[in-house]
Chains A and B, each alone.
Chain A
């Protein structure tokens, strides 16, 4: 449980959360925002696993991707509400 919360927090304050949000803010297309967030999640997990697929933990990957998707979608919503163009 703690492990899970910690991983989520680490991701939300890390690349998936922050870069995901920023990328999401660049598009009005929800699916694109979410997809970019997810991609950042994958990249970050790989990065911290030293680019070795064998070192990737399924749960960590999943959490990073989910956090990325949430951040990307949120960024996209911010774009939709907060920009006139």
Chain B
């Protein structure tokens, strides 16, 4: 570190400045300053991250508006209790590490937006099943973690539910099933052949984690959906 300062490039001077003990500042000053800088930085980081969780942000890409329209017809947009689930409630985890992971993986959204993968309604429909499968895969693997941020079997009063809902939910608990096994299409339209694809997705997951295998798909998906749709339309 004894080379004369004039000969060094600015990167090297910066480098040695960083690692030379501070003369003008006490340790306390540096610690407090670093602590404050840390708070400001982390607060800003977190705030920015939260901005990317708003409905406005998601739908700032016109490709996401198809889903917006479909979702606006459903109970999670308007309901009698006035609690709304927005895009990020179902699609972005709360837990820090899963959330960062989801945000990093979403960089591919930007790429596909630029590449125009789903830029027209026709392309969207052609691609819907594969996108839906990606979501199912995540939800199945996480035991529908995002749904369970709001709903929980433990909090459900089965005596207040429709008989069929209560008995199906009991069956779900007994068979270790998860929300998405029966409630596909809870917020968006489904292509007609979705059940086969869903089955494939879960089978692929099951073969990776043996022991979890069960017949884990609703036997009467169509009925559930038509029942729920008629109820929302009231």
Contacts and interface: CB of A to CB of B under 8 A. Distances in A.
Q: Do A and B come from one complex?
A: yes
Nearest to A6: B101
B101 A7 contact: yes
Interface residues of B, number: 15
B100 A13 contact: yes
B19 A10 contact: no
Contacts of A5: 104-105
A6 B19 contact: no
Given A2-B108, A3-B105, A10 B100 contact: yes
B100 A14 contact: yes
B95 interface: yes
Given A48-B95, A81-B19, A9 B100 contact: yes
Nearest to B98: A10
A82 B101 CA distance: 32
Given A2-B105, A6-B104, A14 B19 contact: no
Given A81-B19, A82-B19, A6 B105 contact: yes
A52 interface: no
Contacts of B18: 82
Contact of A44 (B21, B97, B99): B97
Interface string A60-73: 00000000000000
B104 A9 contact: yes
Most buried by A among B99, B100, B101: B101
Interface string A4-19: 0111011101110000
B96 A6 contact: no
A9 B19 contact: no
B31 interface: no
Nearest to B15: A81
Interface of A: 2-3, 5-7, 9-11, 13-15, 44, 48, 81-82, 84
Interface of B: 18-19, 21, 95-102, 104-105, 107-108
